[in-house]
Structure 1
Amino acid sequence: MIPKTMHAMLLTGHGGVEKLQYSQTTPTPEPGPGEVLVRVTATAKNNTDRKAREGLYPTKDKGEVTSFQMGGSPTLTFPRIQGADVVGHVAAVGAGVDEARIGERGLLDFNLYADERRDINLTPDYYGHGADGGFAEYIAVPSDQFHHVDNSDLADAELAAMGMCSYQTALHMLTSARVKAGERILVTGASGGVGTALIQLCRIMGATPYALSQADKAEALLALGAEAVLDRSSMGSFTERAKKVTGGHPFDAVMDLAGGEMTNAFIDAMIFNMKDRADYPRLSIAGASAGNLSEIMWTRVYLYQVQIFGVSHGTREEAEQLIAWIRGGQLRPVLHAAFPLSKLHEAERYFVDRNSNYLGKIVIVPDAQWEEHGAPFALSASPEAN
């Protein structure tokens, strides 16, 4: 029986973790026409949860406290339930949806699409921002965006770690930059959710990924598929270090999640020998963990014909391709740990202060589902994953 109220973590405004309030009496959503009601078993945490909470998406004034507004007006209203990468089981269906779906396990395509176009997404928004997300016991979502994944070798928490927020962003970075088989690709921020997704996706596409990360994460990143790992603790002589691992060749493209002062070094590592290239230097950027402002010379950009792609989310086609790869076992989860929903404050602090052992995703599990879907992946229970 579906309860009338549920446990949920409510974001009540921009600010610190104190703006996240645990509610035990939030109304359970009802599925509308074409929707399914999902009993949530795991939701991966993403950096965008923190950035949206803190209002760190300025587009005009660098000090502006704001959120996604690409559709022309803000869609984040309070209170809001965050959490984009939702895994769960269909508990009920709305009008027009086959009741045979009840009981299915699935993974949510997290996008709030503005229209039915399959190959473009010009005003990206997402569950957990413009509509309530998965940091709750139930969520109502479009049936066609809740993709059935019945792989028995994947636990619900592991499937959540392969959620669309990271993997679809990663794939869109690669497709935007026309990454091809045989190319050498630098992946920055390689130990996070998007970074680990990029390494795997490069291998599927036949490209060779090189990771930029902390030196103590090199072994795990090499095991995941990185050709080599460059230490990000010192960016001095970066091009020379890059030449050593590529055999003297420039990177064909950079998948950047860092920004800041590193941008020039990434460009340098693509343009030092233009005669050795088969395509233009390409920089895809989908994050700014090292700083939201970069100072670059535009003459270097246009004389060397550097192509820059800003990436946020992806398309329906890319989501469906990822689901096919997950079902086919071509992608594997990189799950760091699980936390109960009631301890989301603790998870947020751990995420910000994560140490050198951190690799992959943190997953949030409703307390009622904890013993089955969360406890096996708790920090103390899963040293091999931590």
Structure 2
Amino acid sequence: MTTPPATLPSTMSGVVLTGHGGFDKLEFRTDLPVPQPGAGEVLIRVAASAINNTDINTRIGWYSKAVRESTAEGGTPEDDDASWTGEALHFPRIQGADCCGYIVGVGEGEDPGRVGQRVIVRNLLRTPVDFRPFECWTFGSECDGGFAQYAKAPSAETYAVECDWTDAELASIPCAYATAEGLVHRAGVKAGEVVLVTGASGGVGSAAVQLAKRRGAKVIALAGAAKADQVLALGASRVISRGDSLVAALGADSVDVVIDITAGPGFPELPEVLKRGGRYAIAGAIAGPIVELDVRNLYLKDLTFFGCTFYEDEVFENLVSYIERGEIRPNVGATFPLEQIVEAQKEFLSKSTAGKIVLLVPQG
């Protein structure tokens, strides 16, 4: 390491996930070893890390194919396929797909001039899988993540960002905004198109509103009525209340692209409102993973469906450029200290807060 070991503590505070299950599986500890960066890696003093659906889905085992309910209704912790990859997760694990912090050390072969940079880490890591197509590790899943005072990450996937944002704002970007940019990128959203975004008041949904608007699309958002003003402020031209009929509100064959975060009972109307030749992109199923699809809509209307987890390498690089050019700005709804992660996840699950919920990581 370039930074002398004496300048860093040997132990740190952080939250470890001890297994699949309830909130009791989240354990705040003060005796975790500070990670040491290897060749090609950097060590980051974490300042903030946001809450994401993937953190909760992994904790409760929701990714298991045996689960048919929404995120809020729980999972099947005992199944070995309960991680997003479909393979057993190794415990204990420091979760946290988002990481905003400051480089304090570098591994062998890395530029010591990087020490001091404020950075974010790409949430889908490509280095560990040799950049094979459609393969990646999730930061905080296949390796330890941002729910601790220090984290290590591949230097090539740790991006310095020059902006006047707070640490909480910058920590909102990696998972939610990369997912959203991946959706609009894969769906090929273009200027002048009509784009419907579901779950538009949450982290990914609110990011998708901004990113589709940035491309010149007209954005229609689906969100709770109480959050309509906040979603309009993000760039939506119209907000439809969650639970209202989309066909009644918009008419059939009225939308070029659907960006879906929720799936669930409202899914059947989404193909109905798509125009012929329309595109549907999905990266979440928080309202429920099992849906009813009239396949006639799919083939008779020549629709294209995109399942979006993996994103192209350019997606994250584009996000950094959007930030530095002042083209986007996240909506931080609430912050909690790291040790209050249970309260933060409960607030997240309540869906009462619009925007990102961010954990602030204390030092010392």
Same-fold call, TM > 0.5? yes
What fraction of aligned residue pairs are identical, expressed as a percent?
39
- Post-superposition, which runs of at least 4 consecutive aligned residues in structure 1 deviate over 6 A? none
> Which residue is 1:68 aligned to?
83
May I ask how many residue pairs the two structures share in their alignment? 348
Deviations 1:184-230 (A, max 9, x none): 00000000111111111112111111100111211111111001001
> Which residue is 2:161 aligned to?
149
Q: Which of 202, 208, 211 lines up with 1:201 in the alignment? A: 211
Instruction: Read off the aligned partner of 1:6 and give its amino acid letter.
Output: M
> Which residue is 1:361 aligned to?
356
Q: 1:61 to 1:337 in 2, by over 3 A?
A: closer
SS in 2 for 1:130: coil
Contact 1:181 1:205 survives alignment (8 Å): yes
Greater Cα offset, 98-107 or 297-306: 297-306
> Which residue is 1:377 aligned to?
none
> Which residue is 1:320 aligned to?
317
Contact 1:33 1:94 survives alignment (8 Å): yes
Q: CA deviation at 1:53?
A: 0.2
TM-score by length of 2: 0.91
Q: Distance in 1 between matches of 2:39 and 2:98?
A: 22
- Are 1:270 and 2:300 matched, yes or no? no
> Which residue is 1:261 aligned to?
265
> Which residue is 2:279 aligned to?
282
Q: Which of 340, 343, 347 lines up with 1:346 in the alignment? A: 343
Q: Which of 127, 131, 135 lines up with 2:139 in the alignment? A: 127
Q: Distance in 1 between matches of 2:254 and 2:272?
A: 9
- Are 1:43 and 2:49 matched, yes or no? yes
- Are 1:190 and 2:185 matched, yes or no? no
Instruction: Read off the aligned partner of 1:326 and give its amino acid letter.
Output: I
Instruction: Read off the aligned partner of 2:296 and give its amino acid letter.
Output: T
> Which residue is 2:222 aligned to?
212
Deviations 1:285-308 (A, max 9, x none): 111122111111212211112211
Q: Distance in 1 between matches of 2:226 and 2:285?
A: 22
Contact 1:342 1:367 survives alignment (8 Å): no
Q: 1:154 to 1:61 in 2, by over 3 A?
A: closer
- Are 1:94 and 2:107 matched, yes or no? yes
- Are 1:337 and 2:334 matched, yes or no? yes
Q: Which of 166, 170, 194 lines up with 1:159 in the alignment? A: 170
Instruction: Read off the aligned partner of 1:154 and give its amino acid letter.
Output: W
Contact 1:230 1:242 survives alignment (8 Å): no
> Which residue is 2:149 aligned to?
137
- Are 1:242 and 2:240 matched, yes or no? no
Instruction: Read off the aligned partner of 2:271 and give its amino acid letter.
Output: I
Contact 1:10 1:21 survives alignment (8 Å): yes
Q: CA deviation at 1:121?
A: 4.5
SS in 1 for 2:138: coil
Contact 1:35 1:142 survives alignment (8 Å): yes
Flag structure 2 segments of 5+ consecutive residues without an equivalent: 1-6, 69-74
Instruction: Read off the aligned partner of 1:102 and give its amino acid letter.
Output: V
Q: CA deviation at 1:28?
A: 0.5
Q: Distance in 1 between matches of 2:84 and 2:348?
A: 25
Deviations 1:245-291 (A, max 9, x none): xxx861001001111221111111114xx4xxxxx111111111221
Q: Distance in 2 between matches of 1:348 and 1:60?
A: 23
> Which residue is 1:112 aligned to?
125
Q: Distance in 2 between matches of 1:343 and 1:158?
A: 19
Instruction: Read off the aligned partner of 1:239 and give its amino acid letter.
Output: V
Contact 1:165 1:313 survives alignment (8 Å): no
Q: Distance in 2 between matches of 1:85 and 1:350?
A: 18
Contact 1:9 1:342 survives alignment (8 Å): yes
Instruction: Read off the aligned partner of 2:328 and give its amino acid letter.
Output: L
- Are 1:251 and 2:264 matched, yes or no? no
Q: Distance in 2 between matches of 1:84 and 1:78?
A: 16
Deviations 1:61-110 (A, max 9, x none): 7575433364x743x21000000110000111111111111111011111
Q: CA deviation at 1:346?
A: 1.1
Instruction: Read off the aligned partner of 2:289 and give its amino acid letter.
Output: N
Q: Distance in 2 between matches of 1:343 and 1:36?
A: 27
SS in 2 for 1:332: coil
Q: Distance in 2 between matches of 1:5 and 1:135?
A: 14
TM-score by length of 1: 0.86
Deviations 1:308-346 (A, max 9, x none): 111114122111011111111111021111111111111
Contact 1:281 1:306 survives alignment (8 Å): yes
Flag structure 1 segments of 5+ consecutive residues without an equivalent: 275-279, 370-386
